[in-house]
Amino acid sequence: MGHRCVNKMLIQICLYFYCKFLWRCLKFVMRKLTGRCELQRICYNTKPGASRTMKIETSLRDSKSKLLQTSVSVHPDAIEKTIEDIMELKKIDPDINPQLGISLQACLLQIVGYRNLIADVEKLRREPYDSDNPQHEEMLLKLWKFLKPNTPLESRISKQWCEIGFQGDDPKTDFRGMGLLGLYNLQYFAERDATAAQQVLSDSLHPKCSKFSKAEWEKKRMDKAIGYSFAIVGINITDLAYNLLISGALKTHFYNIAPEAPTLSHFQQTFCYLMHEFHKFWIEEDPMDIMEFNRVREKFRKRIIKQLQNPDMALCPHFAASEGLINM
């Protein structure tokens, strides 16, 4: 049994190097036939967006040149100089091929920006909520005001927090898993798309009264509909968005919507979209009780990942919270 595993591993290693060798040979032949390097062929033959940027990223990362390999992780301020070095390495005249430099710059801004976005998001996720931090407290109180503008919060420690979907009388304990990132996302949704956020909150508390699903309830003649805890689900969807980002699944979306570097705002408006879509998906799934949450969430996650496998996919090109960010 052990010999089989070793043999299988050796075969896989040999296949890997064999395929890599064939690929390098093919690149050499294509260079001779077309007079263009792989970067030129990608930029000239692939439309802007995720298709082009992801091919450029793979080409740079898999290159035998150290300059090209490290170009995907340079500082944004060094991108212009890096492109000049690449053009010189590839013996490409920028005066004859001006569009190549422009295309490479756009791709590198997205590639480097995505890596920096991961760092920014990770920093927020690792920062715990601190009730002694005035800024943290201010954000939490703003979240209440945005979601319940006509209902004053009686005290900082209060059972009223359950009305917007927290588990107890002090929300700080619910932010442990996602840190400040969960609060940042919830506040962004509640502030930037207040009407929709308040509607989703109302529906989560009174799902049978949902404006989004009234016809569906009547059609199915349901005796009851299962709601959910808005804030807790928001933190859970933050976890989903975070893992989509870390895994690279969101590259398709961000490379299609962000003309340059994707930012924290792009991530937050994606969270808003996911909240909208999960809410609709929850209603469509019609769970028997809240214990089905993990099943519904996993099914929703798989649907989003499948959508993101389409290189032309942009999750939210017309979403309200993303206005001013989208540039297709």
Q: Does residue 217 have a pLDDT over 80?
A: no
Residue 213 backbone class (left: φ over 0; alpha: ψ -120 to 50; beta: rest): alpha
User: What tens digit of pLDDT does each residue of 34-53 get?
Assistant: 446 899 999 999 999 999 99
Residue 223 class from Cβ within 10 Å (0-12 exposed, 13-18 middle, 19+ buried)?
exposed
Alpha-carbon 285 to chain mean position: 24
Q: Does residue 225 have a pLDDT over 80?
A: no
How far is the C-alpha of 322 from the C-alpha of 186, rounded, in Å? 15
For 84, 91, 247, 253, the CA distances from 55, given in Å and listed in that order, are 20, 21, 17, 15
Q: Does residue 318 have a pLDDT over 80?
A: no
Q: In the chain, what are the domain boundaries?
A: 32-125, 131-309
Q: Which residues contact 87 (CB under 8 A, 6 or more apart)?
A: 93, 94, 97, 100, 101
> What would the mean pLDDT of 169-184 be, rounded to a whole number?
95
User: What tens digit of pLDDT does each residue of 104-156 get?
Assistant: 999 999 999 999 999 999 999 999 999 999 999 999 999 999 999 999 999 99
User: Residue 169 in contact with residue 231, Cβ under 8 Å?
Assistant: no
> Which of 306, 186, 286, 290 has the alpha carbon at shortest distance from 235?
186
Q: Which residues contact 254 (CB under 8 A, 6 or more apart)?
A: 110, 114, 117, 262, 266
